[in-house]
């Protein structure tokens, strides 16, 4: 996944809602939303088999981002009967942590089709390969494709 046009931004790992991973005790999705959604994404062409079934939440505050031309967009995905179908977009990215680079996906559930658990416009939700030792508060760098993602 080499892209000579990667742009790099500093970020910090922050806690999320715990719904994507299923860690939140109040979540109606004990397996986590990513584990539930992954088979639907695979049927549409995105294989997340090797990725952690959770999101790594990276704050780039005070900067914000917009997913302007994502590599993949899946519309009206009916992954649960608890609410109407949702739209999702994805853009390849890379997380740089302690000298290693991890291939990842920026995961973007479209807010206009999402019912709850919204993120701040400065928080990117990343689906990544296993990153040993990473934790809340850790500084990371994120490489993204500026043809798909705009950072302000």
What is the CATH classification number for the domain harbouring 78? 2.40.30.30
Let me know if residue 3 belongs to a domain: no
Let me know if residue 68 belongs to a domain: yes
Number of C-beta neighbours around residue 148 at 10 A: 19
**For the whole model, what pTM was predicted?**
0.90
Predicted local distance difference test score (pLDDT) of residue 81: 87
Predicted local distance difference test score (pLDDT) of residue 2: 54
* Count of structural domains within the chain: 1
Predicted local distance difference test score (pLDDT) of residue 135: 95
Let me know if residue 102 belongs to a domain: yes
Share of the chain above pLDDT 90, in %: 73
Indicate if the pLDDT at residue 74 is higher than 90.
yes
In angstroms, the first-to-last Cα distance of the chain is: 25
DSSP for 2-34, written as a single string: --TT-EEEEEEEE---STTTT--TT-S-TT-HH
Indicate if the pLDDT at residue 127 is higher than 60.
yes
As a whole number of angstroms, the distance between CA 84 and CA 73 comes to 17
Question: 97 pairs with which residues across the strands?
Answer: 100
Give the pLDDT confidence of 4-61 residue by residue, as tens digits: 689 999 999 998 765 666 566 666 676 778 999 999 999 999 999 999 999 999 999 9
| Max Cα distance, the chain (Å) | 43
- Domain of 98, in residue numbers: 11-151
Number of C-beta neighbours around residue 45 at 10 A: 8
């Amino acid at each position: 996944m080499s892209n000579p046009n990667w742009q790099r931004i500093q970020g910090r790992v922050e806690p999320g809602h715990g719904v994507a991973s299923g860690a939140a005790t109040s979540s109606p999705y004990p397996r986590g939303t990513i584990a539930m959604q992954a088979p639907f994404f695979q049927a549409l062409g995105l294989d997340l088999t090797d990725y952690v079934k959770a999101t790594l939440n990276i704050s780039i505050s005070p900067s914000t981002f917009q997913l302007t031309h994502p590599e993949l967009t899946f519309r009206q995905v009916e992954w649960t009967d608890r609410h109407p179908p949702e739209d999702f977009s994805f853009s390849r990215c890379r997380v740089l942590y302690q000298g290693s680079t991890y291939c990842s996906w920026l995961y973007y559930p479209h807010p206009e089709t999402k019912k709850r658990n919204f993120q701040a416009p400065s928080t990117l939700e990343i689906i990544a390969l296993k990153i040993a030792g990473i934790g809340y508060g850790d500084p990371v760098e994120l490489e993204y494709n500026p043809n798909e993602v705009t950072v302000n």
